[in-house]
Structure 1
Amino acid sequence: MTTTPANFDAVMRHFVESAEPSRTPAADMADLAGVIRTLLGLNARRGTRVRLGGSLFDVVITGSGLLAHTAVACLDERQYGCGPVIEDPGPGWLYWLVPPGSAERWEPHEHAVCLGGPHTITLPPLHRTVPPGPYWLRPLASDRLVPTTPLRQVLAQYRPRPARPAPHSALAGQLGTAP
């Protein structure tokens, strides 16, 4: 059956009326405006605070320095690009953006800690690829996050150590718990 201009409206009305009765937005659309504001903020050349977990990403925190940069280069070679990594020279940490839900499955690791919701992270502007301040060591791309299995392997191999207290110690001090 072909649709002609005369019956197009009738066909569309039929589809609308036969669809689910609810016309309320889907539950997962509640955060859409926030996600859009975040992405616009990154494009507008300003840092943007993002809640971890949900459908975006979790973050693995490691020390920075030569060994951490070697781990990034290793993942670049293994995967034709590492995935998004933020370097924060202040505390000497790397923030590896990993798939959402990783924090729930992350086993304790001597050289890294993985955080998800309800924690937040401030993403640097997309154009910032050098210091001062946090910057994109590897850029954020819409199609890639850092996979946790290869990340755990290279972290175990290269053992990046921070210049300052390990993420475990610093977070434990902030949360009032032992590492």
Structure 2
Amino acid sequence: MTTLTATLPTAAEMMQHLVESAGDSLQPTDDMADLAAVIRTLLAVEARRDTRARLGGNLFDVVITSSGLQARGAVALMDEIQNGCGPVIEDPENEWFYWLVPPGSSARWEPHTHAACLGAPHTITLPSLNRTVPPGPYWFRPSTSDRLVPTAPLREALAQSRPEPTPHAALAAQLGIAI
């Protein structure tokens, strides 16, 4: 009796096959360039590599707070509200939390004394999915499925916990914009 072993191609191998089979037209059309960038980003994260992602679009925006004790209290509140908080990245070097919130949140975000919300045209480096401890940015609350942090409960949790220091001045200096 002969046993056959089949190996399925990885997502990266499938993408490479699609690119190679495109023939003469290897350049994506303008409307597909964004989709291609999103797919490359997701494949890099899946492959456990840090990757740069554009905010806005169809993925997510980011709310930035300090990562001190008060911010950790906000995570605990969101754990209760969401039955496990949505994705949060801790950046130990800047002492910030990056809360991944629904796309378009930055356009609707009202000024908050303890948080700033950024969307397009800004970018963020997503740590590989297996990075859950420092050094460098890591997943304080890992990204799971399509769950993001809802902005209304997050605003309330931040208003209650009042994380300090606020990120506004540091972000404004770093990005050269008013926050």
Q: If the TM-score is normalised by the length of the shorter chain, which range does it land in?
A: 0.7 to 0.9
Unaligned runs of 5+ in 2: 1-27
- Report the CA distance between 1:175 and its aligned residue: 4.2
The residue that corresponds to 1:105 in the other structure is 108
Listed as ranges, the matches of 1:28-177 within 5 Å are: 29-162=32-165, 166-177=166-177
SS at match of 1:72: helix
Root-mean-square deviation (CA), in Å?
A: 1.8
Runs of 4+ in structure 1 off by over 6 angstroms are none
Q: TM-score, normalised by structure 2?
A: 0.79
Bigger shift: 124-133 or 26-35? 26-35
SS at match of 2:100: strand
Which of the pair has more CA radius of gyration?
1
Distance across 1 between alignment mates of 2:167 and 2:153 = 20
User: What one-letter code is carried by the residue in structure 1 that aligns with 2:80?
Assistant: E
Identity across the alignment (%): 73
Q: 1:128 to 1:31 in 2, by over 3 A?
A: same
User: What one-letter code is carried by the residue in structure 2 that aligns with 1:61?
Assistant: I
Q: TM-score, normalised by structure 1?
A: 0.79
SS at match of 1:31: helix
1:78-110 residue CA offsets vs partner (Å, 9 max, x unmatched): 111210000001110000000000000101001
Aligned residues: 152
Unaligned runs of 5+ in 1: 1-24
SS at match of 1:49: strand
The residue that corresponds to 1:20 in the other structure is none
- Report the CA distance between 1:177 and its aligned residue: 4.8
User: What one-letter code is carried by the residue in structure 2 that aligns with 1:56?
Assistant: L
